[in-house]
Amino acid sequence: MGVDVILTKRLWFQVGIGIIISLIIIKFFIDVKWIFSPVAIVLKSVFIPLLIGGVIYYISLPLQAFLEKYKFPRWSTIVITFLILIGLLWAAIAVIGPPVGEQINNLVDNAPEIIDSVSQFAIDMSPQVNYLPEWIDLEEIATKATNWVQSFSVNFGNWFIHFFQSIVQGAISGAIIVILVPFFLFFMLKDHERFIPFIIQFFSGKTKKWIEKTLRDIDNVLSLYIRGQVMISVILAIMLYIGYSLIGLKFALLLSVFALFMNIIPFIGPWIAFIPALIIGLFQDPTLVIWVSVVTLVAQQTDAQLITPNVMGKTLNIHPLTIITVLISAGKIAGFFGILLAVPAYAVGKTIVSNIYERRKDIKNSAAKTV
CA proximity to 188, closest of 66, 45, 64:
64
CA–CA separation, 359 and 371 (whole Å):
19
Distances from the Cα of 347 to the Cαs of 19, 53, 213, 231, 341, in angstroms? 21, 20, 16, 18, 10
pLDDT score of 84: 92
CA proximity to 249, closest of 234, 264, 259:
259
pLDDT score of 121: 62
Q: What is the chain's length?
A: 371
Contact 243, 301 (CB under 8 A): no
CA–CA separation, 40 and 38 (whole Å):
5
pLDDT score of 279: 83
pLDDT score of 80: 93
pLDDT score of 326: 79
CA–CA separation, 247 and 281 (whole Å):
10
CA–CA separation, 2 and 4 (whole Å):
5
Distances from the Cα of 247 to the Cαs of 62, 71, 110, 111, 117, in angstroms? 37, 48, 19, 21, 20
pLDDT score of 119: 62
pLDDT under 50: residue ranges of the chain: 1-2, 170-172
> Virtual CA dihedral for 337, 340, 346, 347, nearest 10 degrees?
-140
Contact 331, 362 (CB under 8 A): no
Looking at residue 259, its amino acid is A
pLDDT score of 265: 78
The count of C-alpha atoms lying within 13 angstroms of the C-alpha of 51, restricted to the half-sphere facing its C-beta, is: 17
pLDDT score of 21: 84
Contact 52, 172 (CB under 8 A): no
CA–CA separation, 138 and 140 (whole Å):
5
pLDDT score of 303: 75
